[in-house]
Amino acid sequence: MTLKANKIIPLADTRYASSVPVVPAQPVAATGLLSDTLGRPLRDLRISVTDRCNFRCSYCMPKEIFDKDYAYLPHNSLLTFEEITRLARIFVTHGVEKIRLTGGEPLLRKNIEALIEMLAKLNTPQGRPLDITLTTNGSLLAKKAQALKDAGLQRVTVSLDGLDDAIFRGMNNVDFPVADVLEGIDVARQVGLAPIKVNMVVKRGTNDSEILPMARHFRHSGAVLRFIEYMDVGASNGWRMDEVMPSTQVIERLHAEFPLTAVDPNYPGETAGRWRYVDGAGEIGVISSVTQAFCRDCNRARLSTEGKLFLCLFANQGHDFRALLRGDYTDEQIGAAVGPVWQSRSDRYSELRAALPADTSPADGTLKRVEMSYIGG
């Protein structure tokens, strides 16, 4: 164990509790119709390809913890591209239609284009191509965009927490300039990685002054700007409810300058509430995971970079599928082990958090959860 800033940081492979899924004695073929205890299907698989990031955003990887001495996962602990593709193929038989590559910062994973090319060859049982996308901080996007597109990536989501360079450098905490991220967005658009989504985490008192400048910049651009409520991901970001700006207030602020009208979801389980500018300048979204929990429609599972499956962004225990991948098991056997894991799922962290007394902070350990940098957003 390593002691940093009065916090215990577990070493890599013991970072989070996990159990090896049980392989049924008589495997049952996948039907694509899995549902959990709340009737939620499995449609979206988010795959973390690295636990490393070149930013130190305070709400995700605060520098005082994730410093030069932090013990990242050793390379041999990470799933290989072949293992990721094999597991993705198995999950597709259970109903997964969308794969999002995350990190850490996924573009730090060497030869990430090779993985995208492998995943792009997968199809649903009905013969449809998968929806393959990637979330990035944009720092390497200008250099990588064409190769990502050529490999088969369809679109990207870029995290950008403000246009004011001082605010942005302060939030990424590595003095990275906003101009380089904007260049990455422009190059991504030029090569056809669209529609581009731009995610802004809004932290009251830190960058909420950037809401309107961000809206002005991305209007008429074709990009969908999404405002995310500051969340209590992990246990290291010092989350406080008074730093959360509810999405209703974000919409009110925007609507006062740019009239908006609500839009229906694109599909069941969509995380972002959709709004459209009345003047036709485009669309924005709000992700209200603190003030308006959407647990009841959540159809996402998350695979950590070393093969642990988490059933919620705020989970504290995973299911170790790497053990099966590196054991003497067939795809049919591993697929049969997926079913009971998802069918027993009852996660609804955000609903439970909302039910706590107003003066209770989940950051005090009342509700434990995994770090977002470990399983992606």
Any idea which architecture 34-375 has in CATH?
Alpha-Beta Barrel (3.20)
The CA distance from 244 to 204, in Å, is 6
pLDDT of residue 78: 96
Q: Where are the domains of the chain?
A: 34-375
Query: pTM of the full predicted structure?
Result: 0.89
Beta-carbon contacts of 343 under 8 Å, excluding residues fewer than 6 positions away, are: 34, 35, 36, 37
The CA distance from 15 to 70, in Å, is 12
pLDDT of residue 258: 97
The CA distance from 84 to 99, in Å, is 11
Q: Integer distance in angstroms from the first to the last C-alpha of the chain?
A: 26
The CA distance from 37 to 57, in Å, is 35
Predicted confidence pLDDT, tens digits, the chain (377 residues): 333 333 333 333 445 668 999 999 888 889 999 999 999 999 999 999 999 999 999 888 889 889 999 999 999 999 999 999 999 999 999 999 999 999 999 999 999 999 999 999 999 999 999 999 999 999 999 999 999 999 999 999 999 999 999 999 999 999 999 999 999 999 999 999 999 999 999 999 999 999 999 999 999 999 999 999 987 665 555 567 888 999 999 999 999 999 999 999 887 778 899 999 999 999 999 998 888 877 888 999 999 999 999 998 878 789 999 999 999 999 999 999 999 999 999 988 777 766 665 444 444 444 455 665 666 65
Specify whether the backbone of 376 is left (phi greater than 0), alpha (psi in -120 to 50) or beta. left
CB-CB contact of 243 with 204 (8 Å): yes
SS3 142: helix
The CA distance from 117 to 17, in Å, is 32
